Chains A and B, each alone.
Chain A
Amino acid sequence: MKRDKRDSRVVILGVCIVLIGVVFFLGFKSHEEVKRVVQEQYGEQQLMLARQAASAIAEFADERVTVIEILARERSGDTVENVTRSFKTIYTATGGFYSIEYINTSGVVVYGYPEERAPIGYNLYAENRSGMFDAARDTRETQICRPVPLFEGGLGTFIWVPLYKEDEFQGVILAIIKISTISDLFLVPLTENRTGEVYMIDGRGQLLYDGEAVVTGGVRGIVEEQKNGTEGTATYIDHTDKEHIVAYAPVRWRNQEWSVGITAPVSEVDLLIRSVYARQMIFMGAVIAIITGGSAGLILMFSRWNRTLEAEVKEKTRDLIRANEQLKELDKLKSDFVSMVSHELKTPLAAMKTAAQVLSVADAEDTKREMVSIILRNIERQTKLVTDLLDLSRIESGGMALKMERVSPGAVVADAVESVRHEAEEKGLTLKIELPESLPPVRGDREKLRQVVINLLDNAIKFTSRGVVCIKAREVNGDVEVRVSDTGMGIPEEEQNRVFDRFYQVGNPPQTGGTGLGLAICKGIIEAHGGRIWVESEPGRGSTFVFTVKKA
């Protein structure tokens, strides 16, 4: 058994490990996938940036060239002064030019703006730098050379625009755009707020801009690609063994073909993924926490509910059981009542019947007399029982008619005592009466009250073998209270509540005769008078039956 348990534990553990392994494997696999996708997306985004930068640069440069070309066309017949007057306007209005110069037909710089940047008097022929000048003149087309170092340092691109009045060569406007102007405008901003670098090369692979000197060995291959004027993404590993991702896009304007490259360490992608993961984790954690908390709350709620429910069910069951017991008790009382009635009615009937049958065959006078007296006695008994039952039935149906009048309690007590005096004397009991002189009259039915007092006295005498039966009356809180006490056997506490029940007889089984209805009738009568009746008793020392009736 134990072994089985351990085996199953091992199996469960194994399955768990395998499942965890699968989860990890899938996790890694999906991580690779995610990494690839994100890298792709990232590259795509970088490429977009590169394209934007490239097209912005191309547009910028092209625009500058166009402005100069328009100037050249518009002012082709004008004097040098008039042409050069526009230089300042163009320089300040468009921005981005390093300088704009006017070169006369003999290749000498005659004017330039800003003036301090213009090498006035510089003779191209003398310096043997007239190649582009000649080309512009000869082709009548704008000539743009690839970026070259300026005297003042840095790289610049030279734009040669020929001036023709009809077919007459007037000279060349030379506009210089510094590469640093372009990179400051379009490339430097790209590096702000991000890791990674930006660089630009010209068609020959010459570095035009290199933010952090990234173009080292690893990027060479990419530069070759860029020289072909293609766009795309690629990765390379730098000298510190870090992998970078590069997106590059060509800058095409006029005859120039440059290329912008944007690099970013691959670790940036990881960072991105990690931040996504972190967010996902936070979300999942929150969800799990909510679900767990919610479930726990629900479980707690349900279990509490369950507990309350259980308690309620228990309580209800208890109530039901109690009610059921009460019902059973009631049912038993009822069937006891019926069986008692039948017994009490049949017993004297049986006695009478047998006695009468004996009477009809007996010869002896003694026997005849005996039988007759038995018959008479039982008729008496039957009559009393029937009267009691009728009384009780009237009381219980609320149909007892009371003849209410002012009644002197003293008279009722005296009357009742007279009725039982003989009985008491026969048993050798002392009958004591304590009545105060000024006892107020009560409101009640004289006959019924007498019946109650007689009944109580009868009982007291019946249950007392020697000693005193005492009856007292007094006024208490606007009621008259009558107490009948004896020195009999008393009533156990648990039976005191039941002595007023129908057919209830003290002692189990009942110790004395009687119909068992007397006290029930007394209770009915007193309650019909609006009074109370109860018993005070100490077993072995006697009982006191007390009732109260309202003053008249």
Chain B
Amino acid sequence: MRLDDKDRAILELLQKNVSYDGIANRLGIERREVEERIGRLSDTRTKILIVDDEPDTLIPLKRALELEDYNVIEAHDGVEALEKVRDEIPDLMILDLMLPGLDGFEVCQRLKGDETTRSIPIIMLTAKSEVPDKVKGIELGADDYVTKPFDLAELRARIKAVLRRTAP
């Protein structure tokens, strides 16, 4: 996870046992933001990035994974996905192929071509079920490939399997 200046300042102040209100005062931000940042910094759950341009697909999946106690972050297109990956360094990525701008294949190719992001496992998720698409996805380095409509239990199992397989 990439820390910005505020994150670093909050961490410093926490070590000096400054209260949340104190931190908020010192940094000139609201207490809610301080709590949020601390919550994020102290979150040790597995972080999953879901990339899908369809909110109706993304939200139920997000809720389902949250119920499984995953820390879920979202991106709605390829460019945002790349940014999110660099900022948040997720533990796993669920990547839709049909995206406006950069499509899923390209996002996958870029991430697998970059030393710092190569190890992030990617599960491709798409309504396209043609074999060539699957082959292309796997060739580009995707760790798994799930077609819509999928079964939540199956997806959960696959997420676990991929995480286990790619655990350092």
Contacts of A343 in B (CB 8 A): 98, 127-128
**Min CB–CB distance A231 → chain B (angstroms):** 110
Interface-facing stretch out of A289-297, A307-315, A344-352: A344-352
> Which of A353, A367, A370, A511 is the one whose CB lies under 8 Å from B149?
A353
Contacts of B114 in A (CB 8 A): none
Contacts of A374 in B (CB 8 A): 56, 59-60
Once the chains bind, are B129 and A348 in contact (CB under 8 Å)? no
Contacts of B54 in A (CB 8 A): 347, 351
Contacts of A354 in B (CB 8 A): 57, 60-61, 64, 149-150, 152
| Docked CA distance A371–B151 (Å) | 16
Once the chains bind, are A350 and B59 in contact (CB under 8 Å)? no
**Min CB–CB distance B106 → chain A (angstroms):** 11
| Docked CA distance A361–B67 (Å) | 9
Once the chains bind, are B148 and A362 in contact (CB under 8 Å)? no
Give residues 1-49 of A contacting B (CB, 8 Å): none
| Docked CA distance A509–B101 (Å) | 6
| Docked CA distance A511–B101 (Å) | 8
Once the chains bind, are A339 and B128 in contact (CB under 8 Å)? yes
| Docked CA distance A367–B147 (Å) | 24
> Which of B56, B98, B99 is the one whose CB lies under 8 Å from A378?
B56
Once the chains bind, are B127 and A357 in contact (CB under 8 Å)? no
Measured CB to CB, the nearest residue on chain A to B65 is A358
Give residues 71-124 of B contacting A (CB, 8 Å): 98-101, 103
Contacts of B56 in A (CB 8 A): 347-348, 351, 355, 374, 377-378, 381
Once the chains bind, are B63 and A370 in contact (CB under 8 Å)? yes
**Min CB–CB distance A225 → chain B (angstroms):** 113
**What total of chain B residues lie within 8 Å of the partner, measured CB to CB?**
24
Interface string of B132-168 (1 = CB under 8 A from A): 0000000000000001111110000000000000000
Contacts of A349 in B (CB 8 A): 148-149
**Min CB–CB distance B97 → chain A (angstroms):** 9
Interface of B is mostly: loop
Most buried by B among A343, A353, A358, A378: A358
Measured CB to CB, the nearest residue on chain B to A348 is B56
| Docked CA distance A381–B54 (Å) | 12
Once the chains bind, are A346 and B149 in contact (CB under 8 Å)? yes
Give residues 36-61 of B contacting A (CB, 8 Å): 54, 56-57, 59-61
> Which of B63, B148, B152 is the one whose CB lies under 8 Å from A347?
B148
**What total of chain A residues lie within 8 Å of the partner, measured CB to CB?**
28
Once the chains bind, are A358 and B149 in contact (CB under 8 Å)? no
Interface string of A495-532 (1 = CB under 8 A from B): 00000000000000111000000000000000000000
Contacts of A377 in B (CB 8 A): 56
Measured CB to CB, the nearest residue on chain B to A507 is B100
Once the chains bind, are A371 and B57 in contact (CB under 8 Å)? no
A342 within 8 A of B: yes
B4 within 8 A of A: no
B130 within 8 A of A: yes
| Docked CA distance A345–B147 (Å) | 13
Once the chains bind, are B148 and A358 in contact (CB under 8 Å)? no
Most buried by B among A349, A357, A361, A511: A357
**Min CB–CB distance B147 → chain A (angstroms):** 8
| Docked CA distance A351–B101 (Å) | 22
| Docked CA distance A365–B57 (Å) | 19
**Min CB–CB distance B155 → chain A (angstroms):** 9
A-B contact pairs, 22 of them (CB 8 A): A339-B128, A342-B128, A343-B98, A347-B57, A347-B127, A348-B56, A349-B148, A349-B149, A351-B56, A354-B61, A354-B64, A355-B60, A357-B151, A357-B152, A358-B67, A358-B152, A367-B63, A371-B60, A371-B63, A374-B60, A377-B56, A381-B56
A residues neighboring B (CB under 8 Å): 339, 342-343, 345-355, 357-358, 361-362, 367, 370-371, 374, 377-378, 381, 509-511
